Amino acid sequence: MKPEQRKFIEPRWPIVITILIALVLIRMLPERIRIFPIWLVYSYLTVMIICIFAVPISRGKLIWRTTEKRVMLLFCILSEFANLISLGYLIREMIIRSKDVSGLELLTSSVSIWIINVLAFSLIYWQLDRGGPEARHNNNSLIPEWLFPQDSIDEYKNWKPVFVDYLFLSYTSATAFSPTDVLPLSSRSKLLMMLQSTISLVTIVVVASRAINILGG
């Protein structure tokens, strides 16, 4: 009998750090533009971190990988929904009560929204591409959602993307507003990148630029 091949389990500590950074940024947002009470955010993130740690502890059992994926995607969807509402609130305040909103508040809020946008979409990309982190490392037959440069180089034939690659993808999508070295292949990946770039564009052009204008004036 052949010895059972050990499954690759991607380290979860970068994910936990990303979630904690998102928590700090959510906490920094003014209370009146936060959609969910902070105690609810703490509770949900605690549950999510437990699910994340359960994956390596259980050696990648399917039930925990599935639970982690569902809990994380729900968190990302709710985060982006809250981001959109907060962004709409800031724009409304700029138009209706422009004299009552300080440039510093606009700037710090827009930076927090922009970074949360990058972090949330990096988690979405990481979970969706090729079936998720463990699936893409242990199954070479899965169809990719994104084409990385390493996929076309013979020396990298055994290479598989990890979380930092999706964080880079999310960051470049939010700054360049277009694909750079990583190309979306599916309709789903293209729509996700379009949504992320749109949120980032509105945050930078409308809110952050207004904040800088107020501070500079």
Ordered per-residue pLDDT tens for the chain, 217 residues? 344 345 788 999 999 999 999 988 888 887 777 778 888 888 998 999 999 999 999 888 889 999 999 999 999 999 888 888 888 887 777 777 655 666 677 778 888 889 999 999 999 999 999 888 888 888 777 788 999 988 888 777 788 899 999 999 999 988 876 667 889 999 999 999 999 999 988 888 777 777 666 665 5
Q: Where are the alpha helices (DSSP H) in the chain?
A: 13-28, 38-57, 62-96, 103-128, 133-138, 163-176, 187-202, 209-216
| Cβ(17)–Cβ(63) below 8 Å | no
Give residue limits of the domains in the chain. 13-216
| Cβ(170)–Cβ(179) below 8 Å | no
| Cβ(44)–Cβ(19) below 8 Å | no
